[in-house]
Structure 1
Amino acid sequence: MEKFVVKGQKRSCINDAPKRSPWKRIKPERDTSGDLEEEEDEAAASGEFSDPIPWQKIEAEGLDLDYALLFSKEEADHLFKKLEEEVVYASGEESKVHVFGKLHNIPRKQATYGDAGLTYTYSGVARSACPWTSTLENIRNAVTKTTGQSFNFVLVNRYKDGQDHMGEHRDDERELDPRSPIASVSLGAARDFIFRHRDARGKQSRRQIEPVKLELAHGSLLLMNPPTNTFWYHSLPVRKKILLPRINLTFRRILLDRKK
């Protein structure tokens, strides 16, 4: 992941905004009467998604992606508005990083939500999960219904405009389930998302492998399937002409037996 160290106090998960009644689920709930793991195994064996929508397959050497529009514009607009009301982002010292001994602001806002007791560690920094908000839970359920995959944690990144960005990194932390994809839901301004092979990075790159660039649309879902994060770095570069905000949700599956 990005090489930085976060120092600071424990973050509050409380949103002082008035409580509102839970929003209705976007699509009918998945039938959970059966065993979820058995359903996932069956879906994997069949090679099909649980709730088919028009998918675009994107492949290269060691790269396996699935891309689709999961939400209509009306749904995506509503979800964005609800997340703006509900999500509590890190602030103060926790929103800053140490790079080469100097203190810098993270070039975006971040928040972590998930099942009780979960933490996510990257670059030596552990972030605790706040309890799911109703909207985050609804989005997660829609992703699960569509893909047949279950997720217990989400990292929320908010980009105020095209100046906010994310550097090249891989989501390859040891506590992540290596069999599970990372599901990335984008809401708000469309942004370029760039994949670069680990052997084709920098001036002293060993191989000539073309980068893969996608434009992640409002309401879209991108699945980064194994072994993508082993071989490919991804980034969200600066785009100065983008003036509107974007919220990105990356749903992950953390293995409890790997948490130390």
Structure 2
Amino acid sequence: MEKFVIGEQSKRSSTSDVQKSPKKKMKLEISERMKEEDAEEDEDAASAEFSHPVPWRKIEADRLDCDYALLFSKQEADQLFKQLEEEVVYSTGERAKVHVFGKMHDIPRKQATYGDVGLIYTYSGVKHSARPWTPTLEHIRDAVTKTTGRTFNFVLVNRYKDGLDRMGEHRDDERELDPVSPIASVSFGAARDFIFRHRDARGKQSCRQIEPVKLELAHGSLLLMNPPTNTFWYHSLPVRKKVLSPRINLTFRRIIPASKK
């Protein structure tokens, strides 16, 4: 009520002044209109910055929070896929293995790690140092940042030669990862099924009935996995024998440098 009374008092005061000066009244009206237009332009600009790509598709379940959209057109995605095939250098030797149940196994896909200087990511018992960003990886990273408003300093690249290459169930919950940052997954090439399974609904000892969430990740798409998704949900890319062409997936992450832990 106090704000309303003050407003009325102010209005009466200004009315008195305007009656004395019609030119002042016109200037005040123009000024107010310009302020309103500027505010609308600012709002539209902010909205436009984070509205591409549109429309976003919201994917939610019990403590699963994801956003999905097409980040690149088919033409753009085709070109970026070609450039990635030329630029990315995949790991070999020990860095191309994972540590499972006390034994080392070959990764059923090709893998590479890129990012800011000095970053190290430990994945499945193996330490991976970041190679310097390539021009194409920088371009894709910046497109993700412009679209989401989030910054990333590391990317894990996975190349699947066909539907026989796969990714087993896991959570991206390593200690190096910033717990409040989402993980941005960008896909190129063959569309593949991506399956989320809640940690309480896995295996014979499951204690809850929670249906898995299945998505098809399309060529040029972006999947944003927001916290706390990776705390409660495992995800996988299962074998699909009918898929005969390759796929490249980039998961952009934010790693906490060792000096800041």
User: Per the shorter chain, which TM-score range?
Assistant: 0.7 to 0.9
1:103 is displaced (CA, Å) by 4.5
Q: Pick the structure with greater CA Rg.
A: 2
Q: Is the 8 A contact 1:51 1:145 kept in 2?
A: no
RMSD: 2.0
Q: Are 2:152 and 1:151 equivalent residues in the alignment? A: yes
Once the two structures are superposed, residues 29-61 of structure 1 have per-residue CA deviations (whole angstroms, 9 ceiling, x without a partner) of: xxxxxxxxxxxxxxxxx9997343210001001
Q: Which residue of 2 aligns with 1:232?
A: 233
Once the two structures are superposed, residues 94-119 of structure 1 have per-residue CA deviations (whole angstroms, 9 ceiling, x without a partner) of: 22345445553210000000001111
Q: Secondary structure at the match of 2:176?
A: coil
1:121 is displaced (CA, Å) by 1.4
* More helix as a share of residues: 2
- CA spacing shift, 1:120–1:56, aligned 2, 3 Å: same
Q: Which residue of 2 aligns with 1:50?
A: 50
Question: After superposition, where does 1:18-167 map in structure 2 within 5 Å?
Answer: 50-52=50-52, 53-100=54-101, 102-167=103-168
1:259 is displaced (CA, Å) by 6.2
1:236 is displaced (CA, Å) by 0.2
- Amino acid in structure 2 at the alignment position of 1:197: H
Q: Which residue of 2 aligns with 1:241?
A: 242
Bigger shift: 47-56 or 232-241? Answer: 47-56
1:93 is displaced (CA, Å) by 3.3
CA distance in structure 1 between the partners assigned to 2:207 and 2:160 by the alignment: 33
Q: Secondary structure at the match of 1:94?
A: helix
Alignment gaps of 5+ in structure 1 = 1-45
TM-score (norm 1): 0.78
Q: Which residue of 2 aligns with 1:217?
A: 218
Once the two structures are superposed, residues 168-214 of structure 1 have per-residue CA deviations (whole angstroms, 9 ceiling, x without a partner) of: 00001122111110000000000000000000000121000000000
Count, aligned residues = 216
% identical aligned pairs: 80
- CA spacing shift, 1:195–1:117, aligned 2, 3 Å: same
TM-score (norm 2): 0.78
Alignment gaps of 5+ in structure 2 = 1-45
1:153 is displaced (CA, Å) by 0.1
Q: Is the 8 A contact 1:175 1:258 kept in 2?
A: no
Q: Which residue of 2 aligns with 1:189?
A: 190
Q: Which residue of 2 aligns with 1:254?
A: 255
